[in-house]
Amino acid sequence: DPRIVYAGTGEMNFSGDSYYGCGMLRSTDGGATWTRLGASVWDTPTGGATIAKVHVDPATAGATAAATLLVASSLGLYRSTNGGAAWALVLGGFVTDLVADPTSGGAILYASVGTPSASGSNGIYKSIDGGATWTRLTNGLPATDVGRIALAHAGVAGTVIAAVQDGFGLGGNDGGLLGLWKTTDAGATWTQLAATGASCFTQCWYDIVVAIDPSNPSRVFFGGVALYRSLDGGASFTPVGGSVVHADQHAIVFDPRNPQVVYSGNDGGIYRSPDGGATWTSLNNNLELTQFYGGLSVSADLSRIMGGTQDNGTVEYRGSVEWPRILGGDGGFTAIH
């Protein structure tokens, strides 16, 4: 039922401006109205949860009272079998990603635990019972320096790619890309991909995402600061998007009706490719998505307003709808004499 929509709030990207949300929300009227689910789970005395991914079991998705939901969050991986009325913790730690094997009917799922620091619990976990229980996968995966992890399922049974951040630790790791690993036997064994050309610079703790074309497992997208595409299954990557796609990638989605249509979500908004990533256009007209920092300043005669924004520079209002950018990068505090 496409009128039923679940949304997990709070941004799990580990930056200074990634703040927690109000937990889980559900709409049964296509987004017109929303209801909070399990507020006592997601609100804590020290702050709320940041939610990375929500998975709805396809077999139960059409009935809210009996829907099985899985939520990957900073408080752990939670599961509900009654549409969010009650929740059970099934996997501890910062669960940064969650993907399902679409060929398994909802039974097989993969989750990643991964804080930016190289914690011993960071790794990839698998469930074969719809998320009720989990087993850690280790054969061929790195044992040390593992930070944040992003996952992608190929749509082919047993094929998963994991992008791993070089976790911060005593070894002087810089937070860049540790590497990409691939399994074709449902996690029994993993092989590191060459992944030449792919990079997050030193920001894989903040912007790391991987996606596989469901119609063509040889076409793989990787997002760090820039957006990259591989046509050989992850052996090599080249940048795509040029000057059109903004920096700092966080989401890559394929249109299920036509996988040639790809969307990228990043610190600049939403971008679309109609041809498998070869060309891109911005979809940000009329979207109010610029995040201003504190320190907005207004001139005495109201003719000028200036403010610093997150990763979209410092901009100034001069009377027109469009605010010209006067400085790049992250903006800061401003003042007008």
HSE-up of 118 (CA within 13 Å, CB side)?
19
Encode pLDDT of 60-90 as tens digits.
998 899 999 999 999 999 999 999 999 999 9
Encode pLDDT of 36-66 as tens digits.
999 999 988 888 999 999 999 999 998 899 9
Does 29 have pLDDT greater than 70? Answer: yes
Q: What integer pLDDT is reported at residue 44 of this predicted model?
A: 84
Strand 177-183 versus strand 191-193 pairing type? antiparallel
Rounded Cα–Cα distance for residues 8 and 82 (Å):
17
Rounded Cα–Cα distance for residues 271 and 286 (Å):
14
pTM: 0.93
Q: What integer pLDDT is reported at residue 172 of this predicted model?
A: 62
Tokens 């908004």 identify what position? Answer: 269
Tokens 């992003």 identify what position? Answer: 150
Reported confidence tier of residue 170, pLDDT bands at 50, 70, 90:
low
Does 6 have pLDDT greater than 80? Answer: yes
Encode pLDDT of 113-152 as tens digits.
999 998 889 999 999 999 999 999 999 999 999 999 999 9
Reported confidence tier of residue 171, pLDDT bands at 50, 70, 90:
low
What is the percentage of the chain residues whose pLDDT exceeds 70?
99
- Of the candidates 271, 179, 277, 265, the one whose C-alpha atom is nearest the C-alpha of residue 229 is 277
Q: What integer pLDDT is reported at residue 207 of this predicted model?
A: 96
